[in-house]
Amino acid sequence: MNTFQLGDLTVNRMGYGAMQLAGPHVFGPPKDREQALAVLRELAALGVDHIDTSDFYGPHVTNQLIREALHPYADDLTIVTKVGATRGADASWLPAQSPKELETAVHDNLRNLGLEVLDVVNMRLMFDVMGPAEGDIEAHITALAELQQRGLIRHIGLSNATAQQVQQARGIAPIVCVQNQYNLAHRHDDALIDTLAQDGIAYVPFFPLGGFSPLQSSQLAEVAAQLEATPMQVALAWLLQRSRNILLIPGTSSLAHLRQNVAAATLVLPPETLQKLDQIKG
């Protein structure tokens, strides 16, 4: 698998997103705990060395599963987490963006993952929970930069961010990745991806398969049948071919889906296929 640099950390471009391991609505324990642990334990054998998580998945559940399955961690494993939210008792997603709340979140992640330093912490912005929205992030990034100087965070990233916020953050601290929603049918970040690629910054699409309602399209199904692949594999291969700085974190709670997703890293889409897939653009 080809690789990309997250700061001084080298990761394979096909990673894994752990959010699907928590219970329904990303809340509470998994439906099948043994299966969740088995998915995590399979990652290394498949060459996956990049896991995306957060302490607000569950809350705490996903990080605790990662710790139980994989601690002590392999030297080459990179765990990327995010801060900026907490969960209400009704499973709601609540902003937790003050410097004090960000510090608490970093400590929660350290404790539940069993780490002394977090590899990468994404600042999950919540000006609009559903998508990037403008707002001043000086206080957020300054708080994370201070935690970085104290040695608790190795690298900083952003999530749910606009191009302007990426620029503002980069004026305060080095930014190694941006994690926003992007997939075959949701391409609002095309220009941002290209700018980040020029500067060697990773773009990590969340919902690469469409998220809670996986992508459905007749063009996608047709192309997949021609290539003897699954539609989800084609969706992932398209992202890998879209830009060199795209790193993938597809989420699954299924071993069979995990294996299919990782296999998509070697699927090559010919130019005529890319043309057909372009018609899906939302």
Ligand X SMILES: NC(=O)c1ccc[n+]([C@@H]2O[C@H](COP(=O)([O-])OP(=O)(O)OC[C@H]3O[C@@H](n4cnc5c(N)ncnc54)[C@H](OP(=O)(O)O)[C@@H]3O)[C@@H](O)[C@H]2O)c1
**Closest approach of ligand X to the CB of residue 257, in Å:** 4
Tell whether residue 251 is a contact of ligand X (CB under 6 A). yes
Tell whether residue 260 is a contact of ligand X (CB under 6 A). yes
Q: Which of residues 212-231 bind ligand X (CB under 6 A)?
A: 214, 230
CA distance linking residue 166 with residue 171, whole number of Å:
9
For the residues of 183-230, what is the DSSP string, one character each?
BTTB-TTHHHHHHHHHTT-EE--BSTT-TTS----HHHHHHHHHHTS-
Q: Which of 57, 73, 182, 203 is catalytic?
A: 57
**Closest approach of ligand X to the CB of residue 62, in Å:** 8
Q: Which of 143, 208, 224, 273 binds ligand X (CB under 6 A)?
A: 208
Is 69 in contact with 40 (CB distance < 8 Å)?
yes
Q: Which of residues 129-188 bind ligand X (CB under 6 A)?
A: 159-160, 179
Q: Which of 141, 257, 262, 267 binds ligand X (CB under 6 A)?
A: 257
Residue 210 has, within 13 A of its CA and on its CB side, a CA count of: 16
Q: Which of 4, 22, 40, 52 binds ligand X (CB under 6 A)?
A: 52
Tell whether residue 232 is a contact of ligand X (CB under 6 A). yes
Based on CB atoms, which residue is closest to ligand X, 25 or 150?
Answer: 25
Stretch that binds ligand X, among 66-74, 94-102, 255-263, 267-275 (CB under 6 A): 255-263
Tell whether residue 17 is a contact of ligand X (CB under 6 A). yes
**Closest approach of ligand X to the CB of residue 157, in Å:** 10
57 counts as catalytic: yes
Binding mask 76-105 for ligand X (x = CB under 6 A): ------x-----------------------
CA-closest candidate to residue 97, choices 143, 64, 65, 132: 143
Is 160 in contact with 185 (CB distance < 8 Å)?
no
**Closest approach of ligand X to the CB of residue 167, in Å:** 19
Taking the CA atoms of 214, 215, 217 and 223 in sequence, report the sign of the dihedral they define: negative
Check whether the bond before 59 is cis (ω within 30° of 0).
Answer: yes
Residue indicated by tokens 């700018």: 195
CA-closest candidate to residue 156, choices 125, 121, 124: 121
Q: Is 109 exposed, middle or buried (0-12, 13-18, 19+ CB in 10 A)?
A: buried
Q: Which of 111, 254, 263, 269 binds ligand X (CB under 6 A)?
A: 254
Neighbours of 151 (CB within 10 A): 9
Stretch that binds ligand X, among 109-117, 164-172, 188-196, 244-252 (CB under 6 A): 244-252
Q: Which of 50, 67, 124, 186 binds ligand X (CB under 6 A)?
A: 124
Q: Which of 63, 162, 261, 273 binds ligand X (CB under 6 A)?
A: 261
- Interface contacts to ligand X, rule CB under 6 A: 17-20, 52, 82, 124, 159-160, 179, 206-211, 214, 230, 232, 249-254, 257, 260-261
Positions marked catalytic: 57
